[in-house]
Structures are given as C-alpha cells and as structure tokens.
Structure 1
Amino acid sequence: MDANKLLEAITPEVYQRLTYAVETGRWPEGQTLTQAQRDSCMQAVMLYQSKHNTEAQHMTIAAGGDIAFKSKSELKREFQPQSQDIARFKVTENEA
C-alpha cells in the first residue's frame, strides 16, 4: 500500500487502536499480535505521527518526520500542576 493511501485510511480512532496494539502487544479486544503485526503497526503509528503530531511527547515522531525528545526537566515541567498553591494550616497550641 502507498504511504499516502495508508495515511488517508488512518483515522484518529484507528491511530488509537494501533497505538494501543503497539504499546501492549494486543488489540483492544484482547487478541495477541504477532511480531510482524506489531512491527507493521509501529510503522503505521510513526507514519501517522510524522504527519499529524504537532505536540510531540518524549521520544515520538513529530510533524515533519523529526524525532522529538524531551528532557527529564521538560517532562517534569509539563506534568506539574499549573498552580503551585498549597493549602497551609497553622497549628495553635490549643490544638496540639
């Protein structure tokens, strides 16, 4: 199959199924993939990401086909809560 035809056939829902299959080695319904199927799924995921992944995460294929890597500090910043406010309680002598 031509790469462009394959890309046209991959909907976001199909991409999610392929990603799940690559990550777990099973289809969402539970059937195990052969190594050849897993390899093919991985190639399809990478092809899809190279065209549609505008917000690449750590070690993915970004739009344009570039491999995107994020450092540990970048990932920590990305996953930290937006607000750094922490509830603070003052303990009085009567309560202690």
Structure 2
Amino acid sequence: MSSFQQAIAAMPKEVYERLKTAVELGKWPDGSVLTPEQKENSMQAVLAWQAMHNDNPEHMTIGKGGELIMKSKSELRRQFRDEEEIMRSKLN
C-alpha cells in the first residue's frame, strides 16, 4: 500500500467532508480559492476515500471498491422518502 493510500485509509470522515466541499465549491472553508493543483489533488483524495469507505453512495459517485455508482430517479425518490422528516411548517 502506497503512502497516499495509507493517508487516505487513515483520513477521518470530517477531513473527507471538508475536501469534498472544497472541491464542490472551489474554495477552502476560509474562502480562499483552490489552485488548479489543489483542486486536482483534493479530487483524487475524495475519490480515493470514497473507493475505500463509501458504503452508501449518492446519485453518482465512487462506491466502496472503486465501482462507479449511478442511482436512478426512483431509487433517489425512495431514499429521500425514507429519510426522517426534520420539520414541516405551514406557511400563511
């Protein structure tokens, strides 16, 4: 196992979430913009983490084992319908 793979295997989920958000937004949490190299490296880390740890992949992502996962619209509807409702409010 390479040192990159070891680092990804030991990466806490919180760090993965921060990297994923940074790649999605193109910014670090402090608002500074990712350089092209940072974005590429962060994307590689996110995909590698998903390949090692992602047991519940989203619509289109890398699942555990490196498999590309694409959920259908009906699967996504079922997933969101089954999630707990946090709050419902009636507007005037």
In structure 2, the partner of 1:42 is 43
SS for the counterpart of 1:60 is strand
Measured on the aligned residues, the alpha-carbon RMSD in Å equals 1.9
Normalised TM-score (structure 1): 0.76
CA-CA distance at 1:36 after TM superposition: 1.6
- Contact 2:8–2:49, Cα closer than 8 Å, also in 1: yes
Cα separation, 2, equivalents of 1:11 and 1:44 = 12
Identity of aligned pairs, percent? 45
- Name the structure with the higher helix share: 2
Q: What whole-Å deviation, never above 9, does each CA across 1:70-89 have from its counterpart, x for those lacking one?
A: 01111111112569xxxxxx
Give the residue type in structure 1 aligned to 2:7: L
CA distance change for structure 1 residues 38 and 74 in 2, over 3 Å: closer, same or farther? same
The count of aligned residue pairs is 83
Q: Which runs of 5+ in 2 are unaligned?
A: 85-92
Q: Which has the higher contact order (CA 8 A, sep 6+)?
A: 2
CA-CA distance at 1:12 after TM superposition: 1.2
Q: Which moved more, 1:7-16 or 1:62-71?
A: 7-16
In structure 1, the partner of 2:24 is 23
Cα separation, 1, equivalents of 2:83 and 2:43 = 33
Normalised TM-score (structure 2): 0.79
- Contact 2:27–2:33, Cα closer than 8 Å, also in 1: yes
Cα separation, 2, equivalents of 1:77 and 1:34 = 38
In structure 1, the partner of 2:79 is 78
